[in-house]
Amino acid sequence: MDVVGELTQFGQYAALRTFAAVFHAFSPEQNLRTASTVGRLFHRINPKRGRRVDDHLAMAFPDASIERRQALAEASIGNMFRLFMVESVIMPQVLNVRSWPRYVRFGTVSAAMDVLLSKRPAFFVTGHCGNWELLGFTLALLGFPVSAVARPLDNRHLNRWLLDMREARGLHVLTKWGATDEIQRIVEGGGRIGFIADQNAGDDGIFVPFFGRLASAYKSIALLAMRYRVPIVVGVALREGDGFHYRLETIDLFGPEQWESQEDPLFYITARYTRGIETSVRMAPEQYLWIHRRWKSRPRFEREGRPMPESLQHKLRSLPWMTDAEFAKITSSAN
């Protein structure tokens, strides 16, 4: 990196640290309200990003009124600003082995706890819903070591600062680039790995249903689960009320006994955990990061203007939870 680039990165880092120091002189409750207000203003004065959020909500909830979608859009942006402006910074400060019950409660997590207490390797999967950072952070705080896979920031100073905060209570963060060998070592040693699994995986990803429309997902989670026969737990941390209070929920738990009998285990695993993420989003759509371009990439047959292949239709129909109405929605959106 040249001198100008280094100075630019350090300037960005210094500005954000200064902002954080001033901002967090106030109470977390006040900061959360401020961040939510900033988020709503951002949505209103940034029409391009606002249209993207509105378009995604229209895809996911075509029967919702315009007013309902607008309210969800503003709440979603507000939630994003709460997470990034406030909670990512205060989480290591307010959560510790004594204080966590004031901020976090457990919902239906007994199945996940059984996996944790068994000391078997497992994959914990979530999406950009609620507070995805809180899941791994809380587990590590309670003495269940978790390694989370995360994309490093381009700004190395900011990346180091955020990484230190993430690892402040024992969460081990793996960068996506070149993490395969370390993931294999962790799994073979009986460790647990967390994935945020709702990113767009590009044109070469595996396309599975998400809100009635095909979306590209990475193949790596399913391939690793198949190779090591590792169970997958889909979970979410949902905000309760307006403050820093969350409820942890287990959405789904499945393992080799479910996928090994399937005709295409890779497709089944990816479709099932994606369905779990969709379920969690439906529980609190205002807490999802709708600004993400989840449906940006399209399958090859769509790009080439061809009908959906019979082989893909067969895979979709073979999913145990697929209904005629859902199948019709997916196929109509793809043609």
Summarised one tens digit per residue, pLDDT across range 177-216 is 556 778 888 888 888 888 989 999 999 999 999 999 999 9
The pLDDT, as a whole number, for residue 115 is 83
Would you say 123 and 277 are in contact if contact means Cβ atoms under 8 Å apart? no
270 vs 74, more confident: 270
Summarised one tens digit per residue, pLDDT across range 245-259 is 999 999 999 999 999
Q: Is residue 267 part of a domain?
A: yes
**Closest by Cα among 242, 317, 274 to 28:** 242
Asked if the model's pLDDT at residue 68 lies above 70, the reply is yes
Phi, psi of 176, deg, nearest 5 = -65, -35
175 vs 282, more confident: 282
The pLDDT, as a whole number, for residue 148 is 76
Q: What total number of domains does the chain contain? A: 1
The pLDDT, as a whole number, for residue 175 is 67
Q: Is residue 333 part of a domain?
A: no
Would you say 84 and 16 are in contact if contact means Cβ atoms under 8 Å apart? no
Q: Is residue 129 part of a domain?
A: yes
Would you say 253 and 233 are in contact if contact means Cβ atoms under 8 Å apart? yes
Asked if the model's pLDDT at residue 22 lies above 80, the reply is no
The pLDDT, as a whole number, for residue 33 is 81
Lowest mean pLDDT segment, chosen from 24-38, 66-80, 97-111:
24-38
Q: Is residue 140 part of a domain?
A: yes
Asked if the model's pLDDT at residue 157 lies above 70, the reply is no
The pLDDT, as a whole number, for residue 8 is 65
To the nearest whole number, what is the mean pLDDT of the chain?
A: 85
Q: Is residue 244 part of a domain?
A: yes
**Residue 128 pLDDT level (bands cut at 50, 70, 90):** very high
SS (H, E, C) the chain: CCHHHHHHHHHHHHHHHHHHHHHCCCCHHHHHHHHHHHHHHHHHHCHHHHHHHHHHHHHHCCCCCHHHHHHHHHHHHHHHHHHHHHHHHHHHHHCCCCCHHHCEEECCCHHHHHHHHHCCCEEEEECCEECHHHHHHHHHHCCCCEEEEECCCCCHHHHHHHHHHHCCCCCEEEECCCCHHHHHHHHHCCCEEEEECCCCCCCCCEEEEECCEEEEECCHHHHHHHHHCCCEEEEEEEECCCCCCEEEEEEEEECHHHHCCCCCHHHHHHHHHHHHHHHHHHHCHHHECCCCCCCCCCCHHHHCCCCCCHHHHHHHHHCCCCCHHHHHHHHHHHC
**Residue 24 pLDDT level (bands cut at 50, 70, 90):** low
Q: For the packed helices 156-166 and 3-23, what is the interaxial angle rounded to 10 degrees? A: 40
The pLDDT, as a whole number, for residue 255 is 95
**Residue 135 pLDDT level (bands cut at 50, 70, 90):** confident
Asked if the model's pLDDT at residue 16 lies above 70, the reply is no
**Residue 306 pLDDT level (bands cut at 50, 70, 90):** very high
Q: What does the alpha-carbon distance between residue 92 and residue 35 come to, in Å, rounded to a whole number?
A: 18
161 vs 99, more confident: 99
Q: Is residue 331 part of a domain?
A: no
Summarised one tens digit per residue, pLDDT across range 213-242 is 999 999 989 999 999 999 999 999 999 988
Asked if the model's pLDDT at residue 146 lies above 90, the reply is no
pTM for the whole structure: 0.89
Q: What does the alpha-carbon distance between residue 281 and residue 278 come to, in Å, rounded to a whole number?
A: 5
Is the dihedral angle over the CA atoms 140, 144, 150, 152 positive or is it negative?
positive
- Domain with 234, as residue range(s), is 99-298
Q: Is residue 44 part of a domain?
A: no
Q: Is residue 108 part of a domain?
A: yes
Q: What does the alpha-carbon distance between residue 40 and residue 194 come to, in Å, rounded to a whole number?
A: 30
Write down the residue that tokens 């499945």 correspond to. Answer: 254
31 vs 158, more confident: 31
The pLDDT, as a whole number, for residue 254 is 96
What is the mean pLDDT of the segment spanning 87-114?
A: 85
Asked if the model's pLDDT at residue 80 lies above 60, the reply is yes
What is the mean pLDDT of the segment spanning 48-71?
A: 90
The pLDDT, as a whole number, for residue 161 is 56
The pLDDT, as a whole number, for residue 159 is 52
330 vs 13, more confident: 330
Q: What does the alpha-carbon distance between residue 130 and residue 136 come to, in Å, rounded to a whole number?
A: 13
Residue 221 has a CB neighbour count (10 Å cut-off) of 22
